[in-house]
Each structure stands twice: as C-alpha cells, then as structure tokens.
C-alpha cells in the first residue's frame, strides 16, 4: 500500500499533495499525482488565488482555478481549496490603493461570494484566511489588517460560510506549526509537534498539515542529510497520527522537479518525497513506515 492508503488505514482522512497548474502537461507528474493509492487529496497550488480568479475588480476568471478541481473530480480525490484572503498574490487593484472600511469589506465579500460560490459543493476544505500572522507572531501588515484590523477574519469566514455552508473553513498559517514549511535538522520532535497540535484541538477545531515540505539548506544533500530529512518527515506525520483532531497531511508538491523553494530560498531545496527524476527518496520510506506502524 502507498501513502494515502496507509494514511487512511491509520485513521487519517487523506494524504495529499499540492498540484501546480503549470505542470499538468508532464504526464509522469500527473500519473503519480492521480494515483489515489498515493494521494487522496489535491490542493491547487496557485490557480484559485486572488490574482488568478479576480485580476480586475469584478472580473472573475476560473480557467486556471478549475484545472486542479477538474483533476481531483476525475480521480475521485478530496479537494482542499486555496486560498481567499491573503496578503500575497493579490492584484494591485486590491493592494495598492486605500479603501474605507466599508469599501474593503465589500471587496472581500464580493470576492468570496463569487469564488466560493463558483466552487460550491466541491471544496472539502477552504483555506479562508492565509498567513495573517507575521514571522514574529504579531498581525501581518497588509491592506486587510491595516484597513480593517482583525475584523477581516470574521468578515472572510462569514462570507465563506454564507457561500458554501458545507465546506470546512480553515485558517492556514506556519510557525504555529500547522502548515509545515520546515528545514532539515531543525524540525521539532514528534512530541513537541503533537503538543502544539493539541493546543489547537483543545479549542474544538480540527488541524491538518496543509503545505508540508522540509528543505535542505546545504545542496546537494548528503546521504546523512537525506536520512535526517526522513526522520523529520516521520516526526511531522507521526505527530498528526498522535492527535485525534489531525485530519490529514498535504505535501506542498511531491517531486523535487517542481518546488517553489529554490526560487524563494536560493541554494536550498530537495524538500519533497520524490527526487527530480520521480524516484522515491528516503523520506518517502520514512513516511510510509510511520504510517504503516500506526
């Protein structure tokens, strides 16, 4: 059995991956991503973001956004939809002018009503608000926070709830540690991660790892570093298995052939479970073992 089948047997709802809209022409990439024994869930990497679906005010376009939902539907995979209110990949018509509170509230509500309405009934989860915390733990400066304070969170969640009452509505962030962009050798232990997850489930909400990758800071990785990466992945996946309200794990891409990391953190990389030639790495074996042992 492979990752999703093992994850489901271990009590998780899914093991999934983000899928890049720009790579759907790569048949090897698509064939592994479409194997539901491996991946029971997909997340569109970029297509549903604000700059893609509403590049100009009131002009909605779902050509790119629909790519991954269509793949998921064809394969019978769970769809996590991503993302609505986020400071990044925001078209300049939203980010680079000043709004009154009433205007910006309406801009958010119109956006969410359209986008969530378009995908109504298809999204198992929606990442409603993304990365509202900054790296020091305060609120991130953005047009949303600077105009509306923290009111942009309930405004966004209420709009999403109204547009698709059946979708699970998620807050998505990192450094908590919930989302999971990590560095080899500095990943917390399984127990530390499980304790953090329990601080959230104690509030009555579900948790999930939504964007897991663990990058090497020294490239190319040594065999030792690849083994450590495997241990780190096992700690993260293991912590989800240890916490009742942890529903699933999504890796942010699965092959080192395609990853956002080298572009954003030059000189680092190899963060995923398959190498750039689609060979399974030691980290794949570690994840598979920790799932099988549950």
The span from the CA of 225 to the CA of 184, in Å, is 7
Q: Is 260 a binder of ligand G3I (CB under 6 A)?
A: yes
Tokens of 108: 């958010």
Peptide bond connecting 268 to the previous residue in cis, omega within 30 degrees of 0: no
16-35: which residues touch ligand G3I (CB under 6 A)?
Answer: 22
46 binds ligand G3I (CB under 6 A): yes
Distance CA 131, CA 259 (A): 19
The candidate with the shortest Cα–Cα distance to 209, out of 43, 84, 30, 66, is: 43
Per-residue binding string, ligand G3I, 195-234, x by CB under 6 A, is: ----------------x-----------------------
Among 23, 24, 36, 89, indicate the residue that binds ligand G3I (CB under 6 A).
89
Instruction: Work out whether 55 is an interface residue with ligand G3I (CB under 6 A).
Output: no
From the CB of 74, what's the least distance to ligand G3I, in Å?
22
The alpha carbon torsion through 173, 78, 43, 216 (nearest 10 deg) reads: 70
Instruction: Report 69-88 residues binding ligand G3I (CB under 6 A).
Output: 88
Nearest approach in angstroms of CB 1 to ligand G3I is 28
Q: Which of 103, 211, 217, 276 is catalytic?
A: 211
Report if residue 149 touches ligand G3I, rule: CB under 6 A: no
Closer residue to ligand G3I in complex, CB, 19/241: 19
Rounded CA separation 186/9 (Å): 29
Assigned token pair, 141 = 């400066």
Catalytic residue among 21, 54, 131, 177: 131
Q: Helix or strand or coil: residue 186?
A: coil
Could you tell me which of 48, 72, 248 has the C-alpha nearest to residue 168? 248
Binding flag, residue 255, ligand G3I (CB under 6 A): no
Kindly list the residues in this chain that would bind ligand G3I in the complex (CB under 6 A): 22, 45-46, 88-89, 130, 211, 260
């Amino acid at each position: 059995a492979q990752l999703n089948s093992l994850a489901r047997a271990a009590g998780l709802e899914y093991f999934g991956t983000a899928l890049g809209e720009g790579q759907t022409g790569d048949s090897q990439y698509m064939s592994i991503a479409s194997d539901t024994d491996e991946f029971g869930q997909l997340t569109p990497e970029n297509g549903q973001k604000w700059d893609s679906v509403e590049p100009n005010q009131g002009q909605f376009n779902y050509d790119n956004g629909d790519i991954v939902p269509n793949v998921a539907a064809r394969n019978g995979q769970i769809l996590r939809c991503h993302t609505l209110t986020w400071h990044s990949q925001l078209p300049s018509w939203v980010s680079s002018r000043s709004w009154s509170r009433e205007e910006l509230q309406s801009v958010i509500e119109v956006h969410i009503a359209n986008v969530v309405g378009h995908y109504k009934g298809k999204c198992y989860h929606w990442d409603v608000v993304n990365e509202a915390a900054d790296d020091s733990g305060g609120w991130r400066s953005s047009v949303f926070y600077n105009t509306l304070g923290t009111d942009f969170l309930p405004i966004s969640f209420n709009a999403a709830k109204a547009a698709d009452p059946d979708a699970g509505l998620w807050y998505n962030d990192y450094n908590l540690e919930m989302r999971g962009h990590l560095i080899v050798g500095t990943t917390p232990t399984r127990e530390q991660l499980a304790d953090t997850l329990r601080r959230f489930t104690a509030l009555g909400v579900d948790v999930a790892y939504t964007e897991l990758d663990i990058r090497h800071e020294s490239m190319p990785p040594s065999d030792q570093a690849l083994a450590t990466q495997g241990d780190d992945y096992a700690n993260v996946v293991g912590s989800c298995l240890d916490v009742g309200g942890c529903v699933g794990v999504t890796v942010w891409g699965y092959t080192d052939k395609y990853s956002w990391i080298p572009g954003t953190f030059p000189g680092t990389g190899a963060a995923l479970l398959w190498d750039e030639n689609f060979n399974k790495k030691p980290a794949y074996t570690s994840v598979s073992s920790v799932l099988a042992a549950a």
